Amino acid sequence: MDENLLTQFEAYLNQEMSKEKQTAFDAKLATDADFKADFELYKKLNNFLAYKFANEDAEKELRNTLNRLQEKKVERKAKVVPLFSLKKILVAASVVLLVTLSVYKFTQKPSFADFAHYDELTLTVRGDDETQLKMLEKYFNNKQFDKALPLFESLLKENPNDKKLLLYKALALVETNKINESLALFDKLITSDNVLYKDNALWYKSLAYLKVKDYKQCKITLEQLSTNSDYAEEAKELLNSL
């Protein structure tokens, strides 16, 4: 098998073939089992390589490893890649990728985005406040948190103890990286006599710490959650991953 085969695979995957060549390639895939197996293995490797790690060092090391494998296995001078060598390269590369992915996932700390899921904001209409409330719902639910915050401020001046407004304002503050301000609101809700809002505040307070990678305070806050909390399972999962 000459090196043109790899070029064909790349051209096909990148949709760079003419219509005639693509038709011929598809026909060969349908009739040549060995050709199809080689292509599927190559495509699998190509898909792995397209995956972008959040950890750039891991990606760089992985690509260096693959380059060393290819330099060692491919006989450039002869410009021929024997079938068994091609398979060895692809299989070995796939193994390296899988091992690297496993190690990366094992060592990677959880992130705020992994756990930050909350219901859409819905507010009870209060006469003259209808327009303002609807705008607040729109901004928050569309993740326009910077625009939502001034509306929270305005509404809380009139209703400073509205627990729902306090909770969602705290969430907007976390989303805009105003962590200290959010913690103060969460603490206010935690000391309230409403169990539901206390649980919500403890859970999202722990996520606020998670967002700034304060894993110690995140753990301490999670451990304050009741075992009967609606967040008990997620809290356990998060604690185990820290």
* pLDDT per position as a tens digit, 165-194: 999 999 999 999 999 999 999 999 999 888
Low-confidence winner among 14-18, 43-47, 175-179, 208-212 (lowest mean pLDDT): 43-47
User: What is the rounded distance in angstroms from the CA atom of residue 171 to the CA atom of residue 101?
Assistant: 32
187 neighbors 167 (Cβ within 8 angstroms): no
Same domain, 98 and 155: no
pLDDT, one tens digit per residue, over 219-234 is 999 999 988 899 999 9
Distance of CA 78 to the CA centre of its chain: 44
Specify the length of the chain in residues.
242
Domain end point (choices 88, 107, 126): 107
Same domain, 44 and 14: yes
Largest CA distance in the chain: 82
Asked if 223 contacts 202 with a C-beta cutoff of 8 angstroms, the reply is no
3-state secondary structure 94-132: HHHHHHHHHHHHHHCCCCHHHHCCCCCCCCCCCHHHHHH
Overall average pLDDT of the 116-144 stretch? 86
Give the chain's domain count. Answer: 2
Choose one of 72, 88, 107: the last residue of a domain. 107
Per-residue pLDDT band for 143 (boundaries 50, 70, 90) equals very high
Which two three-digit tokens encode residue 193?
């006599």
**Token output for 129:** 């406040």
- Residues 125, 78, single domain; the answer is no
Instruction: Share the mean pLDDT of the chain.
Output: 80
One domain, residues 212 and 151: yes
Q: 120 and 101: one domain? A: no
Question: Half-sphere exposure (CA, 13 Å, Cβ side) for 206?
Answer: 26
More confident residue, 13 or 138: 138
**CATH at 229:** 1.25.40.10
| pTM for the predicted model, two decimal places | 0.57
pLDDT digits (tens, 9 = 90+) for 23-76: 888 888 888 888 888 888 777 776 655 554 444 555 566 566 556 655 554 544
Same domain for 81 and 160, yes or no, is no
What spatial distance separates the first Cα and last Cα of the chain, rounded to whole Å? 49
73 plus 27 within the same structural domain = yes
Q: What is the pLDDT of residue 148?
A: 96
